Each structure stands twice: as C-alpha cells, then as structure tokens.
Structure 1
C-alpha cells in the first residue's frame, strides 16, 4: 500500500506540470485548448528521440518544452489570425500532432530502456554520494521501512515543480501576466486599453503547451518509453487536477491557485490508485474512474454550497419567527 501511494505521489508531481499548463489556458486565458493531448506526446517524442540520438538528457528535455511551446503558438495563431474557434483550433492541432508525433518517433512506440536519462543520472548521482544508504540506515534505526529506490526522483521533481510554480506566480503578477489574466476575465476591456490581445493569447497558449510538453518529456524518461497514444485523455486528467485542487484548497490568490493545482494533481493520482485497488475495477477502467472523479469534483462543491444556503435560509426563517413572536 505504501509503495502504491509513493508511486502515486511520484507520478503526481510530474503530471502537476501538465496540470499547471492546463490551468493557464482554461482558468487564466479562458481558452478551451485541446492541443494538450497532442503536445504532451510531442514533448515525450522529442525528448525520447533526442536522447536516443545522443543528446544530453537536460537538453532533450529543454527541446521537448520548446516543441510544445511551438505547437501551442500554432494553435494560438489559428485562433487569433485565422479566426478559427478556440475549441476547433485545439482539435485541429491535436489531430495534426498525431501524425507529426508519429513522424518524430518513426514508430508507434519508442523504447528508451538502457539509455541514460535525467532520472537514471539522478539516481546514480544520489547513490554515488552515499546519502541513499545513509537515509535508509537512519530509517531502519527508528523502525521505518526503507524508502523506494526512486525517492530521489520525488525530491528532485518536487523542487523543479515548485520552482516552475514560483516562476509562474511571478510571471502572472508582471504587467504581461496581468494582461493575460485580464484577457480571460474581459477580452474587450483589455483590447480597449490598446493591448495586443492576439500576441498575448498566442504567448499564453504557447507557454501552457510548453509546460505540458515538459511534463511529457519527464514522463517519457520516467517510464522509459514514448508512445504515440500516451496523450489520450491528458486534457481530462489536467482538468481533473485543476478542479480537485480548486475545490479543496481554493483560489483566492494566484499563488494559492497554482499550489492547489499541484496538490490536485497529486491527489488525483492517489484517488486513482485507491480506486484501482477495488476488486471489480481494472486498469482498463481508468477513463471511467477519471470521468467519475471530474463529475464528483464539479458536483460536490455545488451540492455543499446549496446545502449551506438552505441552512442559512432556515436559520433566517427561525430568526424571523422568533422576532414575530416577541413583537406579538
């Protein structure tokens, strides 16, 4: 059970980058971008094929983010310059990316087993310092089981994700970032202030897909393979993470909202792991589980709010009744 939960946290921290990208389009820009399903695979494909051709893993990961950024910018251009509906722009780009990703990979599935990736280098570095053995010995002394071999990945990815979160928070508070947020709230108003909404939208969608592709690059290196179909349903997973995080932790400030998205991604993975432990559910039921989680996250807050309002109305009625009795 512990190892399953640990694995959920490990993958959740990596998928949190994808959830942050989804947050930028759906919440900040109010742009229903379906490019995510394609750009996630683009990041995985570019990172995988670059590593297979001897490019250092850190540069391969950077190339993955750049490729996703370009894909997002194309979606933004289709919408702003081509006057194509936002939803349709994402669908068109997602469809095109399937063929592009297949071209990049050269085959439906690319295996990176035996190749040096960021995570294999990280684990080798950590074991070389001796800290891995030291930490396990300390845990044994206090009666706790040893940590999994990949716990260094969790620590490193947590640091990376939090750094990107802080950069995102800072960016959204800059002049350009405030303009991006204004586009999502009232596009006509920000346009009346002579802001170039087209360029800002293209930039925002590009940054969003850059984060999504970065997550895809990390996932490919983490799993040891890149598959042309690995992005199917990513947009739903990203939305589930955003909705769960917002429902549980709130969105009063930008910093709180981005932290909620990260925690939402981790909680989503934990919920999926726990759901799969139910006897009658199988791995093939992942999509159904995801749909149920999203529905629950959307409906539950409204039901809770309706219940609170009903209690308030009943309390007011009782109070008015008491006042009438006192007057009479």
Structure 2
C-alpha cells in the first residue's frame, strides 16, 4: 500500500471519532459548537501529560475523553442555564480552553517520542487497532441513540418545543449531547497526539471545519436515512476527506502552506455539490411535469 494511502486511512480512522462528535452537535442537536477547536487539544494535552508521567495510555486516552466531556458540559451550561447564544457559548469556551490547555501542558508542546514512552500504538499498527476502536464507538453510539435518552436527544434537535411539552428536560439532553460530542473530539485528539508523537497547543485549530467536511462528504455520498447509516457515512466521510487531502498534497502546484486552502476548497465542494444535485433533480422533475402537462393539453385539444 502506498505511504500516502496508508497514512490517509490511518488519520481518517482517528479523525472519524472527532467527526462522530461533530455529527452529534451539528446534525443531531443542530448546535453550532466551536468548543471543538480547543477540546480536541484538551484531549491531546491531558493524554500527553499523563503518558509522560508513566500512566497507561489507555487510561490517559479515557481521561482525555473525560476532560473533553467536562468542557462540553461547561459549554452546555453556558447555553442552557446562562441563556447565552449557542455559537457564542462555544466561542467563549474555545477561548477559555486555550489558557486551560496551556496550564495543563505547562508549555506550548509536549513530545511523546522516546524509548520509555508507551502509547496506544506502541508495538501495534494503527490500521490494526483503530478499526476496532472506531467500530466499537460507532456501534455504542448506535445503541445509545436507540435508548430513551438517545431518542430524547434526537427529538430535542428535531423539535425542542414539542419534546419539552412531553415533560422532557431539554436542557439536560442538550448538555449530555454537547458533553458526549466534545468527549469524542477529545478522544480523537488524544489518539492523534499518540500517533503523531506530540501534543501542541495549536493542533486543534480548524477541527470544526474538518469535522463538518467529513459529515457533509459522508452524507452526500452514502446518505443518512437511519442512525446506523448516518454514523457509518460519517466514518467513511472522514476517511475520504483525509484521502482527498493526501492526494491534494501530492499535487506539484500545492505546498504544505496551502493546507488551510485545501480544507476550505474541500468543504466548499462538499457543501455546493449536494445543493446543486438537489436543484438539478427539482428542475428535471419540473420539466418532466411540464412536458406531461403540455402533452395532456395537446391531447385534449386534438380531441376537440
């Protein structure tokens, strides 16, 4: 397997966890959560500090998940109890987390390379362990969305006023959903840090865009008729996004400094193509109906 293909699939699988988190807020809750850009770094920072202090990488990764979930809870509280706009709540937490992440790390970056450093991927290939992790997380999410709490979460995103009329505390379901989302994002960050060999204070910048691109690409190609299909589409979308990214970097006219531009172009294409396809289908249907109407009118005229 070519190096670029292998690397693209590896990163795609790790980022798939982050994309699943973004899916929860973006699609399930319809909540624009920008906390993602720093909760990703929070997971990486917590895991890196714990691993360098001799803690098991699995425990460190779970701790990263927990730290991200706490950040999500705080965002949810700002929005539901503080009555702050959802977008603004995410921005406030994103800003606050930058300083918190610096406190956790104590410096801008932490290296995880060395003979005495043990990570989740030590002695095992990423392509061996990551599919297992992603499948387990995906299936657990599918099961959760079928529980009463999961159904309440989905209903809150679809019609908050209606579900509240049935006695459901939508504030709690929102907080739970945002916490779960940021927990998955932070887990992805902790695994990225272990795979790349370092945690950096700026590594989460642009994660929300990557997550949205993965969700949109997956849904556009594979559809989202059911929760099972939607979560599978998100995972595959993350892998496809990383492969497109890797292919773009292999182009002669693009440099490493064009990474953000590549991301923006991928997101634009992912957003525009489904809209254009829908527009074309509607126009085609309209033409078909017009042709049938004209044919009927012609037939009636000839009958006279």
**Count of residues in Structure 1 that have an aligned counterpart in Structure 2:** 299
| Structure 1: 4+ residue segments shifted above 6 A | none
Provide the rounded CA distance (Å) in 2 between the counterparts of 1:157 and 1:299: 31
With normalisation by structure 2, the TM-score equals 0.96
Of 144, 150, 172, the residue aligned with 1:199 is: 172
Please give the per-residue CA displacement for 1:11-59, whole angstroms capped at 9, x wherever unaligned: 0000000000000011111111100011000000000000001111111
Q: CA deviation at 1:156?
A: 1.1
Of 245, 253, 265, the residue aligned with 1:292 is: 265
Report what 1:182 is aligned to: 155
Q: CA deviation at 1:294?
A: 1.0
Range with bigger deviation, 78-87 or 305-314 = 305-314
Report what 2:111 is aligned to: 111
Provide the rounded CA distance (Å) in 2 between the counterparts of 1:312 and 1:188: 35
Q: CA deviation at 1:321?
A: 3.0
Report what 2:72 is aligned to: 72
RMSD: 1.1
Provide the rounded CA distance (Å) in 1 between the counterparts of 2:79 and 2:148: 23
Q: CA deviation at 1:276?
A: 1.3
- Give secondary structure in 2 for the equivalent of 1:119: coil
Please give the per-residue CA displacement for 1:163-183, whole angstroms capped at 9, x wherever unaligned: 100000110111000000111
- Give secondary structure in 2 for the equivalent of 1:120: coil
Report what 1:148 is aligned to: none
Report what 1:28 is aligned to: 28
Counterparts of residues 165-244 of structure 1 (less than 5 Å): 165-244=138-217
- Give secondary structure in 2 for the equivalent of 1:110: strand
Range with bigger deviation, 61-70 or 308-317 = 308-317
Please give the per-residue CA displacement for 1:201-239, whole angstroms capped at 9, x wherever unaligned: 111110110000000000000000000000000000000
Please give the per-residue CA displacement for 1:133-187, whole angstroms capped at 9, x wherever unaligned: xxxxxxxxxxxxxxxxxxx311210111011000001101110000001110111
Q: CA deviation at 1:190?
A: 1.1
Report what 1:44 is aligned to: 44
Matched, 1:319 2:303: no
Provide the rounded CA distance (Å) in 1 between the counterparts of 2:299 and 2:88: 63
Provide the rounded CA distance (Å) in 2 between the counterparts of 1:38 and 1:321: 58
- Give secondary structure in 1 for the equivalent of 2:199: strand
Report what 1:8 is aligned to: 8
Of 195, 220, 226, the residue aligned with 1:253 is: 226
Counterparts of residues 154-173 of structure 1 (less than 5 Å): 154-173=127-146
Please give the per-residue CA displacement for 1:45-99, whole angstroms capped at 9, x wherever unaligned: 0000000011111111111111111111011111111111111111010101001
Matched, 1:270 2:270: no
Provide the rounded CA distance (Å) in 2 between the counterparts of 1:116 and 1:225: 13
- Give secondary structure in 2 for the equivalent of 1:118: coil
Q: CA deviation at 1:116?
A: 1.1
